Amino acid sequence: MLAAPKYDSWRTIVVPPFLHAMHQALLVSHDQPWVFLSMQGKLLLRTDLDNTYWFPIRDGAEERVSRPGYERWARPELPAVAEMAGDDIYRLRHWAKAKLDEPGDIPRVAVEERMGHELPGAEGTYSAETLAMEERLVGYLQEVREKEVVGAGLWTPPFPVRLPGDPAKSTPPLFSSLPTLEY
């Protein structure tokens, strides 16, 4: 373990197929055991996530070409995400909670469990998430992705993006070449 989650909110969740495919593509794009790495190919534990990653993603950033001694900072141009203008990265959790509440047929216990929250009172004591609830939740997230992102033609990141300064690596497979996963 590198660092404990906030408030010791340990949990295991099932992810929708599109997110699983993204994680697989990221993992095979490098030779480290961690899915998410810094631009230098190291752990993100001590990274200034806001300034190095979130703000350029949210606000857009110009291309940074490779220069001697600064190869690790090279990156393609990043378009701004207008829907996230001015928002902190933590707002993604708020958006995710609202999205899960939106359809109205996903049980509250499943939504709160996914968010890492404990329900108070008798509801928290006697309610438990079931596999059917988890499957409904994951199916809904997959539908949201297909309809609101892919179907709407919104920008999606090219995956995987190789780490700068690693020209010797072969290009890993894209999503279309990943095995089909049944959930």
Residue 4 placed within a domain = no
pTM of the predicted structure, to 2 decimals: 0.72
Give residue 133's pLDDT: 93
Q: Please name which of 147, 151, 136, 149 lies closest in space to residue 183, comparing C-alpha atoms.
A: 136
3-state secondary structure of 75: strand
Average pLDDT, 10 consecutive residues per value, the chain (183 residues): 76 88 85 84 85 91 88 84 88 88 93 90 92 93 91 71 49 38 35
Residue 173 placed within a domain = no
Residue 76 placed within a domain = yes
Is 86 within 8 Å of 106 (Cβ atoms)? Answer: no
Q: Please name which of 49, 99, 102, 59 lies closest in space to residue 83, comparing C-alpha atoms.
A: 59
Which residues, at least 6 apart from 172, have a Cβ–Cβ distance to it below 8 Å?
25, 28, 29, 160, 162
Distance separating alpha carbons of residues 152 and 145, to the nearest angstrom: 10
Distance separating alpha carbons of residues 113 and 140, to the nearest angstrom: 16
Give residue 75's pLDDT: 83
Residue 65 placed within a domain = yes
Domain that holds residue 36: 12-168
Residue 27 placed within a domain = yes
6-43 burial string, b = 16+ CB within 10 Å, else e? eeeeeeeeeebbbeebbebbbbebbeeeeeebbbeeee
What is the total count of domains within the chain?
A: 1
Residue 6 placed within a domain = no
Residue 2 placed within a domain = no
Residue 37 placed within a domain = yes
